[in-house]
Chains A and B, each alone.
Chain A
Amino acid sequence: MISSGVMRVRRAVAGLAMAASGLALANPQPWQLNMPTGVTSISERVHGVHMLAFWVCVAIGVIVYGAMVYALFKFRKSRGAVPAKWSHNTTMELIWTTIPVIILVAMAWPATKLVVDMANVESSEMTVKITGYQWKWRYEYVEYFGKATPVNFVSTLDAESNRVRQTGSGLDPHSVQEGGENVYLLNVDKPLLLPVGVKVRFVITADDVIHSWWVPDLGWKQDAIPGLINGNWTRIDTAGTYRGQCAELCGKDHGFMPIVVKAVPKAEFEQWLATQESAAAAAKTAQAAPVATTATQG
């Protein structure tokens, strides 16, 4: 009891410290205050434009609120303030219309460059097709360095989270742990395995309603829309496990279709892909016979 409480406090403190220092957080931490910097060059730049916008807002806030607080203290009737008669000042009005324009341009410039780069899926080295279903994801490894693969699987909420999340289960979400981390509602049976340092192109769609594929550490989300194919890309720099969730209301279990990306070294990935490929091939030959009989009978 006590020790788990202490651990929780310790983790919270660690989370705060990391959040403050801007270190990459692979998963949401208790008391986390800010967006993760993530694990791709894109996610770092996203974090950058976010922080730029934030500090611009802080600066404007300090000026506006400062002036306001000053006015509220200085020009109180109870201090005998006598109201002035003026009601406009062209110089000031010009200043506070033009300066914001300049500030906005300064924010829009890096943002524009970033959007352009994010839209550039050229020269990708592998393609993964993501399909959203109520309430799970299918991942198809369409090609790897130009070579088509048959590997594909469905990824759903892990059994443990699923048991705990049932209404009135009485089970404690804090108990859902993996590798010393709480993974309640952020864990799946089969994670999406990706190689580190490879530019991955995603083609994203859905089969029933609209979903949205979001891993904060990759720096973006992209809607998965039935009848439409969206593109996006990533190149993960650091090996690790990165967790996210469906981000578009998609029905009753919208809160229960997490996304887990496991980034591993390229060699390890290739080995994994090879075993998956042979497993897929074996399954295909096993299926081939009965399928053929039904076909001739039909």
Chain B
Amino acid sequence: MSEFQSHALVLAQQSTGLPWLNEAKQACADQWQTEKWPTRKTEAWRYTSLQSLESTLWTLPSDAALDALPDELMALDAIRVVFVNGHFSSQFSSELPASLTLFSQASDAEQQAILAKFNQVAKVEKHLFSQLNTAALGEGVFLNLRANQRLEKPVYVVHIHTGSGASDYVGSRLLLSLETSAEAVVIEHFVTLSDASPMFNAVTEVDLGENAKLKHYRISMESEQALHLGSVHAALHANSQLTGFTLATGSRLKRIDYHVRHLGSGADLDLQGIYLPKYNQRVDYHTNVEHCVPHCTTNEVFRGVISDTAKAVFNGRIHIHQDAQKTLAEMSNRNLLTSNRAEINTKPELEIYADDVKCAHGATISQLNDESLFYLVSRGISEAEARVMLSFGFVNELVENIAIDEIKEWLRPRMAKAFGQSDDVVRHLIHDESID
């Protein structure tokens, strides 16, 4: 056990809530202690150093008061579930419908329902930080939709960190269970209100029953100093449909894993991701999609714009098991490096053990196109603005694909800001919607 591993167990000791989950928590704490700590030689961590995480003695922050909800949030007509420094804020949350339960407020029956699902989809033995997440868990949200149930509004889960804590560990768990033909839209949004350097450890488990449909958005735009270890685990049963979108700006350390398993024929995954690290930031996406049964489809598209001396990692794996005949799977990863010192390590992996499948994957790395740049400049646009327009253009298509207009409109200006500091260079991107 590394020094960090034993230090981190303090978090588990501090987290005394949810005694009914103790068994699972203890099991993960035990496992965490036996894991070999990753080094640069560990394949899954080859390009991402954990150093900035190891040097801190993380502690659980106490509840913090907020005067008002930050302006930064999306203006959505939604069921809002707000956490501040990991603590549920009833003040800023909507009244929760019966299908939404806080772990800390679960009735006996609800506890049983949660226990039946908890860490069932997430393969914690394969996800180091999901072990820590479980061991230190103090709160969680359970969405439990019965057959044919459909939420009228999206669920908007907001994780806010506030205060100056330099060692705040903010853990969270979202457990989404949709039974047959249920439908939901869920947005997860991570926000920091200062330049503090919290660590988010956010685990999402998704269990889609037959023919269930989930649109899931995960927006990670914390401050540059924040750390984010996150994972989304999904199990897709027959004819279910998961439409996922994830966006991450860079920070000191950001590592997000998606692990999706097709477990029933006719399941469909559409996963789109955007990463935008700049300065000296890091983003690392690892995705793993397993086709275990025949007739499922995966369409995975990730695009990144990497600037300055930033580094990004995309490791996309699609694993087609022997029985998964008639699989249709496509994965594409395109990267734009806007500086000579920016770095991307991209590794699309297809492992195919079935013989009657249609699969394709591709990865590209490019720089800003000189001809495109000159075309814009020759129309009087400054080079700085032209660069921002082209960078934005590189990921714009994925933004356009977002089905919910409010999210799209919220994202556009914020993404533009990620490319350019001054209003001069982003204003035409920001106002584009208004001239439709």
Partners in one complex: no
Enumerate chain B interface residues (CB-CB to A < 8 A): none
